[in-house]
Amino acid sequence: MENFPTITLVVALALRGGDGRWLMHKRPDHKHHGGLWEFPGGKVESHETPANALVREIEEELGIAIRIEDLAPSGFAQEADGTRERPIVILLYTCSHWEGEPQALEGGAVDWFGADEVAALDKPPLDIALAASLMEKYAD
């Protein structure tokens, strides 16, 4: 009997600049959760580890290079059971070393925000949970 995943696994990146601000991505208006700010990332494909998927997604979305060894697991958020057939689980990683200048290659916008600004942004529900947990860990 073949075993099929019961979740949709997504990875996201909390990219921290040298000044302590965080990069957030504003989703294109025509997409689900359009106009809301999120941590960049995307779905993990069946042949990928989460870290490999994040490296790929960040190159595709932001045009920057990150290395697996610079990623640190930071937390996760998940949709409630019954939300959909395959609820989303997001694994959040932090990183403060990369090559290139982040750009919104797939539409929308990117910008840098302090912790209070991240908290005030309109975000999808799972990104609200991820941001709250992340900012608690990095509170000065």
* 125-130 long-range Cβ contacts below 8 angstroms, 24+ apart: 125/79, 126/77, 126/78, 126/79, 126/88, 126/90, 127/12, 127/36, 127/37, 127/38, 127/39, 127/77, 127/90, 129/77, 130/12, 130/14, 130/39, 130/75, 130/76, 130/77, 130/90, 130/92
Predicted pLDDT of residue 85? 80
79-107 residue pLDDT tens: 987 677 889 999 999 999 999 999 999 99
pLDDT band, very low/low/confident/very high, at 64 (cuts 50, 70, 90)? very high
Where are the domains positioned within the chain? 10-137
10-137 has which fold? Answer: Nucleoside Triphosphate Pyrophosphohydrolase (3.90.79)
Q: What is the pTM of this model?
A: 0.92
pLDDT at 33 over 90: no
Predicted pLDDT of residue 4? 65
Residue with tokens 């302090």: 114
Compute how many other C-beta atoms are within 10 angstroms of the C-beta atom of residue 119.
13
Q: What is the mean pLDDT of residues 62-73?
A: 98
Predicted pLDDT of residue 108? 92
22 or 32: which leads in pLDDT: 22
Q: What is the mean pLDDT of residues 52-71?
A: 98
Predicted pLDDT of residue 87? 92
Predicted pLDDT of residue 3? 64
